[in-house]
Amino acid sequence: MKTFQKLLIIILFVHYSCSDETTIQQDNQQLESNLKENVNVSSRAGLKQIGTGVMMQAFYWDVPAGGTWWQVVEGKVQDWSNAGIDAIWLPPASKAQNGAFSMGYDPFDYYDFGQYNQMGSTETRFGSKTELQSLISNAHNVGLNVIADIVINHNSGGDLEPNPYTGTPYYTDFNPLSGNFYRSNADFHPNNVHSNDSGGFGGFPDLCHHQAYVQDWLWKRSNSVAKYYKNVIGFDGWRFDYVKGFEPWVVREWKNAVGGFSVGEYWDGNAGTLDWWSGEAQASAFDFACYYRMRDAFEGNNLNRLNDDMLWKRNSSKAVTFVANHDTDEIYNGKLLAYAYILTHEGYPTIFYRDYEEWLSKSKLNNLIWIHNNLAGGSTSILYTDNDEYVAKRNGYNNAGLVVYINNSNSWQERWVETNWSNTRIKDYTGHSSWEPVTQGGRWVKIQVPPKSYSVWAPK
């Protein structure tokens, strides 16, 4: 079947424009050149170490169409780096079925970043390949890692073809103009490997990762999707979409083949399940358990829920914490309090673009990012909780640590707490309190916090 498809594509290429043929030749030349250089993501010079700062989700659902988004983000990378961001997460960057209108989660041609005229457009919703590479280059110049959103559970945009395994035609005939990774019915479920698959999503054709051909094109070949993203486009790491749809070994094998930071979207509020997936995939996971407990705490006015199980409490090195993302935004009234929580606690925190650039106080978020990067070291000890108040301390690691006091009530609160410091003058690094108390010889001190707010205390 694939031999027939390749012959068909050669015939069809005759009808494509000279500009598309030139683009294909240029892409192949660039790929060959970069593969010879053997670029290694893990040792790319001058980048910040991922996890030492904060990740920025550099998009939201339905960002403006028109091919300008890569330029918008490029204009912000210097300020983000200055603020303490160490990585930016971009939306799915390759051509999808809806062309210039797609957010990228319906992938068609993994090698078209806005340089081929197919699916109704040349550019993607976000811009051209040249603009994407310019963005990545400038992000690298200011020390930022660039995380690719990888959608490999399903594809979209194929032509209708017979399926000998079901007897029913389906849209599994993929003939991408890039000339790479043609797909047919054997590459999707159901096929000769599996009669069915539990990972279906939205009715899209569901890739079969057990097929050697699919593995080769996704991560094994010298010009695989993974290696093209890394060596030609310049990505440094991976955010895997909808990892519930396929086994965790797929992420593990991808990472082993190309390296780079990896985080999976396993949408489940059970911390044990997230911990299991992270261990099997040998990758980080978004801490949905933390997200849901924060929603219950700040929206449900019960800060005792912050005592509950979360991935960061089980394995902080693999927990990517977040308050909002492009799919969900359920924390409203207490959103800044939630950011105060994740930016003072363990885990690798993520900030949502619209929260930072549009909806919340950028100065307050910058302050919390600074606190995270400079004070929030070591293990965490919860000191006090009730419905309205939460106090915890970081015990310090190559820094003094901190005490964070979160108040969800409508009045000022005060509390005696045991700190890490004896006979030490401390201050609130948020500026919300003007107190500068001195801790007792036994490390106890009284601290305060404004209504519906937070304070963060450390040695002056």
Mark whether 236 is an active-site residue. no
Instruction: Return the pLDDT at 237.
Output: 98
Q: How confident is the model at residue 331, as a pLDDT?
A: 72
End-to-end CA distance of the chain: 70
DSSP string of 287-318? Answer: -HHHHHHHIIIIITT-GGGGGS--HHHH-GGG
Q: What is the pTM of this model?
A: 0.91
Q: Catalytic one among 265, 287, 346, 428?
A: 265
Active site residue 106: no
User: What is residue 398's predicted lDDT score, i.e. its pLDDT?
Assistant: 82
Which of 109, 112, 241, 275 is an active site residue?
241
pLDDT at 88: 98
Spatial separation of the C-alpha atoms in residues 95 and 111, rounded to whole Å: 8
Superfamily grouping for domain 380-459? Golgi alpha-mannosidase II (2.60.40.1180)
Q: Is 153 annotated as a binding residue?
A: yes
- Domain ranges within the chain, ordered by starting residue: 2-265, 380-459
pLDDT by residue for the chain (460 residues), tens only, comes to 333 333 333 333 333 444 455 555 555 455 444 433 333 344 588 999 999 999 999 999 999 999 999 999 999 999 999 999 999 999 999 999 999 999 999 999 999 999 999 999 999 999 999 999 999 999 999 999 999 999 999 999 999 999 998 889 999 999 999 999 999 999 999 988 887 665 666 678 999 999 999 999 999 999 999 999 999 999 999 999 999 999 999 999 999 999 999 999 999 999 999 999 999 999 999 999 999 999 999 998 899 999 999 999 999 999 999 999 999 877 778 999 999 999 999 999 999 999 999 999 999 999 999 999 999 999 999 999 999 999 999 999 888 899 999 999 999 999 999 999 999 999 999 999 999 999 999 999 999 999 999 999 999 9
Q: How many CA atoms lie within 13 A of 135 on its CB side?
A: 28
The residue count of the chain comes to: 460
> For domain 2-265, which architecture applies?
Alpha-Beta Barrel (3.20)
Do the annotations mark residue 388 as ligand-binding? yes
Q: What angle do CA 201, 202, 203 make, to 5 degrees?
A: 95
Instruction: Enter the tokens of residue 215.
Output: 């593995």
pLDDT value at residue 9:
36
